[in-house]
Chain A
Amino acid sequence: MNNIAALQDGKAVGDRMSRVDGRLKVTGGAKYSAEYELPGLVHSALVGSTIAKGRITSIDTKAAERAPGVLAVITHLNSPKVPGFAAKSNPDEPPAIGQPLRVFHDEKIYFNDQPVAIVVADTLERARHAARLVKVQYVAEQHQTNFEANKSKGFLPTQAKRNPKSAQNDYTRGQADGYQAAPVKLEAEYVHESEMHNPMELQSIIAHWEAADQLTVYDKVQAVKGTQRAFAKDWGLPEQNVKVIATFVGGAFGNGLHNWPHETAAIIAAKVTGKPVKLMLTREQMFTMVGYRPKTWQRIQMGATKDGKLVGITHESVGQTSTYEEFTESTVQQTRMMYAAPNVSTRYRILGLDVSTPIWMRGPGEATGAFALESAIDEMAHLVGLDPLEFRLRNYTDSDPEKNKPWSTKYLKECFQAGAERIGWSKRQLQPGQLREGDWLIGYGMGVGTFGANRGTAKARAALLADGSVLLQSATTDIGPGTGTAMVQIASDALGLPTDKIRFELGNSLFPQAPSQGGSSTVNTVGSAVNDACLALKKKLQELGGAAFANVQPEQLTLSGGQLGLKANGGPRMSFADLRKANNGQDVEVTTESKPSGDARQNYSMYSFSVHFAEVRVHAMTGEVRVTKMVSCADAGTIVNQKTAGSQMIGGAIGGIGMALHEGAVMDDRFGRYVTKDLADYHVPVHADAPPVEVYFVNKPDPLVDALGTKGIGEIAIIGVAPAITNAIFNATGKRIRELPVTPDKVLLA
Chain B
Amino acid sequence: MEHETPPAGCPGHDEARRTFLKQSSLLTALALAPGAVVRAAETEFDEKVAAAFEKVSLKLDVNGVKHKLSVEPRTTLLDLLREQLHLTGTKKGCDYGQCGACTVHVDGKRVNSCLTLAVMQDGKKITTIEGLAEGDKLHPMQEAFIKHDGFQCGYCTPGQIMSAVACIREGHADSEGEIKEYMSGNICRCGAYPNIVAAIQEVKNGGQKV
Q: Which residues from chain A sit less than 8 Å from chain B, CB to CB?
A: 18-19, 21-32, 34-35, 37, 43, 66, 68-69, 123-125, 129, 197-202, 248-253, 280, 282-283, 479-482, 643-644, 646-648, 650-655, 678-680, 684-688, 690, 692-693
Contact = CB atoms under 8 A, between A and B. Distances in A.
Given A679-B99, A687-B183, 15 more contacts: A22-B145, A27-B138, A29-B89, A32-B91, A68-B51, A251-B155, A283-B95, A480-B190, A482-B152, A646-B149, A684-B187, A686-B186, A687-B181, A687-B196, A688-B181
Contact of B149 (A18, A43, A249, A679): A18
Given A201-B155, A202-B92, A685-B191, A68 B149 contact: no
A414 to B, nearest CB: 24
B146 A23 contact: yes
B184 A688 contact: yes
Given A123-B72, A250-B153, A480-B152, A693 B194 contact: yes
B125 interface: no
B168 to A, nearest CB: 15
B79 A200 contact: no
A529 to B, nearest CB: 23
B154 interface: yes
B25 to A, nearest CB: 20
B92 A26 contact: no
A650 B94 contact: no
A647 B161 contact: no
Contact of B91 (A22, A200, A283, A648): A200
B126 interface: no
B170 to A, nearest CB: 15
B202 to A, nearest CB: 14
Contact of A653 (B82, B96, B191): B191
Given A684-B189, A690-B194, A648 B152 contact: yes
Given A25-B157, A124-B79, A479-B153, A686 B138 contact: no
Contact of A678 (B94, B129, B130, B142): B94
Interface string B121-138: 000000011101100001
21 contacts: A22-B151, A25-B151, A27-B129, A27-B133, A27-B142, A28-B89, A35-B88, A124-B83, A200-B91, A250-B154, A251-B152, A251-B153, A280-B92, A653-B191, A679-B187, A684-B187, A685-B191, A686-B186, A687-B193, A687-B196, A690-B194
B50 A201 contact: no
Contacts of B184: 686-688
Interface string B99-132: 1010000000000000000000000000011101
A647 B195 contact: yes
Say whether chain A's binding surface is mostly helix, strand, loop, or mixed.
loop
Identify the 7 closest CB pairs spanning chains A and B, nearest first: A28-B89, A250-B155, A654-B191, A25-B154, A480-B152, A651-B191, A480-B153
Chain B CB within 10 Å, residue with most, of A18, A43, A686: A686
A647 B149 contact: yes
Nearest to A718: B191
Given A19-B146, A28-B130, A200-B187, A647 B192 contact: yes
A282 B86 CA distance: 20
A20 B47 CA distance: 48
A201 B91 contact: yes
A481 B187 CA distance: 18
Interface residues of B, number: 64
Contacts, number: 183
Contacts of A652: 191
Contacts of A688: 180-181, 184
B160 to A, nearest CB: 9
A679 B145 CA distance: 25
Chain B interface mostly helix, strand, loop or mixed?
loop
Given A27-B89, A687-B197, A679 B98 contact: yes
Given A26-B157, A27-B89, A283 B191 contact: no
Contact of B88 (A31, A124, A197, A655): A31
A190 B95 CA distance: 35
B194 A201 contact: no
Interface string B69-101: 000101100010011001111111111101101
A125 to B, nearest CB: 5
Interface in B17-54: 42, 46-47, 50-51, 54
Contacts of A129: 74
B166 interface: no
Nearest to B97: A680
A579 to B, nearest CB: 33
Contact of B79 (A29, A125, A655): A125
Given A27-B138, A125-B74, A650-B195, A199 B96 contact: no
Given A28-B130, A251-B189, A679-B98, A651 B152 contact: yes
Contacts of A37: 86
Given A201-B153, A679-B96, A679-B98, A26 B191 contact: no
Interface centre among A26, A69, A198, A650 (most CB of B within 10 A): A26
Most chain B beta-carbon neighbours within 10 Å: one of A43, A125, A481: A125
Given A201-B91, A202-B93, A250-B91, A28 B152 contact: no
Contacts of B132: 27
Q: Which of B95, B145, B183 has the most CB of A within 10 A?
A: B95
Contacts of A198: 189
B158 interface: yes
A200 B96 CA distance: 13
A51 to B, nearest CB: 25
A530 B146 CA distance: 25
Given A201-B91, A654-B193, A678-B96, A481 B50 contact: no
Most buried by B among A24, A35, A479: A35
A202 B191 CA distance: 17
A218 to B, nearest CB: 12
Contacts of A30: 154
A123 B180 contact: no
Given A200-B155, A248-B154, A686-B187, A27 B130 contact: yes
Given A28-B90, A283-B93, A200 B153 contact: yes
A685 B183 CA distance: 12
Contacts of B203: none
B169 interface: no
Given A25-B151, A68-B47, A678-B96, A690 B193 contact: yes
